[in-house]
Amino acid sequence: MSGGGGGAQQAAHSLAFRVMRLCRPTLHVDTAPLKFDPCDILFGEDLFDDPIAASHLPRLLSSQSNTSISDPSDLSYRSRFLLHHPTDSLGFPGLLVLPQAFGAIYLGETFCSYISINNSSNFEVRDVIIKAEIQTERQRIVLLDTSKTPVESIRAGGRYDFIVEHDVKELGAHTLVCTALYSDGDSERKYLPQFFKFIVSNPLSVRTKVRNVKETTFLEACIENHTKSNLYMDQVEFEPAQHWSVTALKTADHSLEHSLLMGETFKEPVLIRSGGGIYNYLYELKFSSPHSTQVKVEGSNVLGKLQITWRTNLGEPGRLQTQHIVGNPITRKEIELDAEEIPPFIILDKPFLVSLNLINLTERVLGPFEVWLSESDLLDEKAVMVNGLQTMTLGEVAAFSSMKFELNLIATKHGIQKISGITVFDTVEKKTYNSLLELEIYVDSQ
């Protein structure tokens, strides 16, 4: 491919750059009309309705095949539309086509180009300094610079070839700038710039959804293919941020089938079809250690990022890394209340003990505490009440420690009932913790 230069001044130059993009070839598609077998015309489908005619079919086919055999080199009009082999109907003659232009260039690919600088004059040029670089809106990247080791000479009608590579990491307009500084036949020093412009597009889009279920975070990633070629996902892995652990969730039949057929060393790539094909990935994230929830996250809740690698139909590789994926804000807990033991049998109007555990999730000492059942819940339901003193006093709880205690309760209604409204009050910080725990119990009438 030739590029833009210096207008009329370029015609006076002895040298010129020619650029060809190096990428995997494409399959050549035969544009000839649909080919046919002469037997399809000579023998109709109703031939099988007549048993006598059908019995002569093998002889007719053998005679027709003998007469239809032609020289493969015969390029006559008649031979062009005949099926010489069953695969001819596919329209793929088995030829590969090299790229005729830059084509579509996508983010994450490796741009590889074969550059030839030709001497079209009748005399030799000497001391050629060649420079090739990629210019984007943000930066300029040097791909080749022979300033320290110039090309000694390029003879008349000769050329100098080289290959450059660049990992495409930016979207938008790119310019491949090729320059040559040389001495012509009159020993005059000349400067030749040429520019080759192309656009880098996004091959795919990644949409994410984050859902929190108690202490577990679920991340759904939807990948959509925007290219004109099928993409085969070799790897779509989520790299969690600090304090997070991740598990990729798959359907049970899918993971079992592939583990048996492919083993653990080989993963079959996932096909995402061209022109808007999509595929969804689901990840389960949890805090990597019990104390990770206590780590104060400054700013946003960063979950991690996706590493995506793929190949096209003929194996052209690509790789992308998403930006940090941010989850829902972390609601930092200071205390937690767990049920340690509940009696298996609870009788109506008879006291019972519930063993609870108060956990301090902070780095400081909390308490003393007061514990009671909120009055609103008692007035609404009155199914489970405190038996005895309405307020229980607890001592201090050290950092990252816990304290066990028992509530003396009594049930006033039989059946399935709820123990709710347990309130914990910090008498030092004057802070109330509501709705820490809800329990369901079954109350027997006898």
Q: Which domain CATH number covers 124?
A: 2.60.40.10
Q: What is the CATH number of the domain that holds 321?
A: 2.60.40.1230
Residue 29 lies in a domain: no
Which of 174, 201, 228 terminates a domain? The answer is: 201
Q: Are residues 285 and 238 in the same domain?
A: yes
pLDDT at 401 over 80: yes
Q: Are residues 120 and 261 in the same domain?
A: no
- The pLDDT, as a whole number, for residue 212 is 86
Rounded distance between C-alpha atoms, residue 268 and residue 257, angstroms:
11
Q: Are residues 263 and 307 in the same domain?
A: yes
The tokens for 122 are 């009748």
Domain range enclosing 44: 38-90
Which of 34-43, 115-124, 155-164 has the least mean pLDDT?
34-43
My answer on whether omega of the bond before 290 falls inside 30° of 0, hence cis, is no
The DSSP element (H or E) to which 305 belongs, if any, is strand 302-311
Q: Are residues 320 and 345 in the same domain?
A: no
Neighbour-count burial of 287, counting CB atoms closer than 10 A to its CB (0-12 exposed, 13-18 middle, 19+ buried): middle
Q: Are residues 137 and 282 in the same domain?
A: no
Residue 417 lies in a domain: yes
- The pLDDT, as a whole number, for residue 322 is 92
Residue 350 lies in a domain: yes
User: Mind listing the pLDDT tens digit for each residue in 61-118?
Assistant: 565 555 444 555 555 556 666 766 666 666 677 788 777 777 788 999 999 999 999 9
Based on its alpha-carbon atoms, the radius of gyration of the chain, rounded to whole angstroms, reads: 38
Residue 165 contacts residue 110 (beta carbons within 8 Å): yes
Residue of 200, 213, 210, 202 lying closest to 172 (CA atoms): 200
Q: How confident is the model at residue 178 (pLDDT cuts 50, 70, 90)?
A: very high
Rounded distance between C-alpha atoms, residue 221 and residue 237, angstroms:
11
pLDDT at 11 over 60: no
Q: Under 8 Å CB-to-CB from 147, ≥6 apart: which residues?
A: 129, 131
The DSSP element (H or E) to which 319 belongs, if any, is strand 317-321
Q: Are residues 11 and 67 in the same domain?
A: no
User: Mind listing the pLDDT tens digit for each residue in 203-241?
Assistant: 999 999 999 887 788 999 999 999 988 999 999 999 998
Residue 30 lies in a domain: no
Q: Are residues 192 and 208 in the same domain?
A: no
pLDDT at 179 over 90: yes
Q: Are residues 65 and 105 in the same domain?
A: no
Residue 12 lies in a domain: yes
Helix (H, G, I), strand (E, B), or coil: what is residue 341? Answer: strand
Residue of 274, 228, 275 lying closest to 104 (CA atoms): 228
- The pLDDT, as a whole number, for residue 134 is 95
Residue 1 lies in a domain: no
- The pLDDT, as a whole number, for residue 268 is 84
Rounded distance between C-alpha atoms, residue 74 and residue 70, angstroms:
7
Helix (H, G, I), strand (E, B), or coil: what is residue 354? Answer: strand
Choose the most confident range, by mean pLDDT, from 14-18, 36-40, 90-94, 313-317.
14-18
Which of 294, 309, 326 terminates a domain? The answer is: 326
Which of 201, 231, 251 terminates a domain? The answer is: 201
Residue 438 lies in a domain: yes
Rounded distance between C-alpha atoms, residue 288 and residue 379, angstroms:
42
Query: Does the predicted TM-score (pTM) go above 0.75?
Result: no
Rounded distance between C-alpha atoms, residue 322 and residue 306, angstroms:
5
Residue 92 contacts residue 141 (beta carbons within 8 Å): no
- The pLDDT, as a whole number, for residue 9 is 45
Q: Are residues 321 and 345 in the same domain?
A: no
**Count of domains observed in the chain:** 4
pLDDT at 262 over 60: no
Q: Are residues 15 and 135 in the same domain?
A: yes
- The pLDDT, as a whole number, for residue 289 is 65
Q: Are residues 275 and 320 in the same domain?
A: yes
- The pLDDT, as a whole number, for residue 188 is 87
- The pLDDT, as a whole number, for residue 379 is 47
Rounded distance between C-alpha atoms, residue 234 and residue 318, angstroms:
10
Residue 32 lies in a domain: no
Q: Are residues 219 and 314 in the same domain?
A: yes
